[in-house]
Structure 1
Amino acid sequence: MNKVIEIAHLYKAFGDREVLEDASLDVDEGENMVVLGKSGSGKSVLIKIIAGLLTADKGSVKVLGREVTHLTKKELNELRLKIGFSFQNSALYDSMTVQENLEFPLVRNVRNMTRAEIDKAVHKVLDSVGLLQAIHQMPSELSGGQKKRIGIARTLIMNPKIMLYDEPTAGLDPITCIEINQLINEVKESYNTSSIIITHDLTCAKDTGDRLAVLFDGNFKFQGTFDEVFKHPDPRIKNFHDYNFIENKKR
């Protein structure tokens, strides 16, 4: 199995605060890897390092066989075109329609596309996320779940090999969460992507993850399938499970 992401002995600190410490993780081609951890555990820092948005202090990060820290600015920009980054807040441009938001990465990065080719690409990704009817709407007219879908569509329009999802179900109602989880799985099948899904939502982890990696104290203490991870006797795992599936139901 080819490795699309290889992280070895990663270290990152901000001042005196160590966020990642000797963190190692591999992601196989065609795999949905869920990274679990409490808020502030370093999950978002990890994917920003993978995308070259942050630089690690120590360690190795290979993406599609390229050592990220060794790339020139031009090479890093070329690699980023193969990575779809779904931000937690969807990161849509409020002054642009849905169509204009989706066109933006194409116009910016792909030369010599005709108007007809751009329109075809926009329609294809909007159809794949089930929101073709929203093509002329403004972001302010969309629900939180719709914005999340449009944000994912904007990354898909570049046909990425890797998807990085940052808290894809955060702030969404339970029904919309289920729909986003289904969409993540559909993206994997339709676009042949490999993914890292950052979340602290165990329902998302269970529904989307081929494997899970749990981040505690700066490194990955537990890795495996959902059942393998949550059968572990470590009390931190039980507490994490109970917080999601028991405590949240009491609220």
Structure 2
Amino acid sequence: MSAAAEIVARLTGREVLRTRSGPLPEAELADGWVVLKHAPGAAAAEAAGLRWLAAADALSVAHVHGADDDWLVLDLITPTRPTVAAARDFGRGLARLHASGASAFGSPPPDGPAAAWIGRAPMANVTGFDWPRWYAEQRVLPYVRRAVDDGVLSLVEADVFERACARFPDVAGPAEAPARLHGDLWNGNVLWAADGVCLIDPAAHGGHRETDLAMLRLFGCPHLDEVVGAYDEVAPLAGGWRERVPMHQLFPLLVHTVLFGRSYASQALAAARELR
């Protein structure tokens, strides 16, 4: 038995019929194929996030067949071509997912750790109830400070973000209840399958619903206008949401600045300057 087969068998308690190699090792169980993902130290948080999103019964979410601190066994999703119909279903489902709510901004999934991850960057799930203040303190400024410490941003550039954060209460729009966010909703984590969209790789937490939508727009999504239009039909967005997109994009842009350097710093600074 291969090492991958041994891990899948251990985590699922099921017999592995055969395996095959690929970007992620794949294993066949009696009822279909699964993939084995190595996420050292982050697997438990990802598994909790997937289960929390699935519990909303709003969208298809990759099923967790088994997990420990370092490994996840997930559905194998066969991708297909995006369609307008699937995009509209995705928008409606995303609205229902957000509406299923969270106990606070920054709340982790019920069985998830407070010390979580977004991609390979740490993400602390510290709770709060004033969204503009929470977003500044927990989702923007921590990554600004890390980028300064790493020499990616200068102190002068950090001041641009601090001044933008001071503007959040004035530009955040009407107060909204915490939404159940995917949290890392770029197009690579939206798999288009034969039966519709399936979500993978979340950084799930309680947040503002416009953040998920802004991330989709930042990194591109097929038929995005259809997605947002269908979303808005189910859960109308507050007036001025388009003008708030740069504010909500600060979080993912700063995460990418921390992970990938100056190539994203200019985009993050441009978004921050729109709020000055």
Q: Normalised by the size of structure 1, how large is the TM-score?
A: 0.28
Q: Normalised by the size of structure 2, how large is the TM-score?
A: 0.27
Name whichever structure is richer in strand by fraction.
Answer: 1
Asked which structure has the greater RCO (Cα within 8 Å, sep 6+), the reply is 1
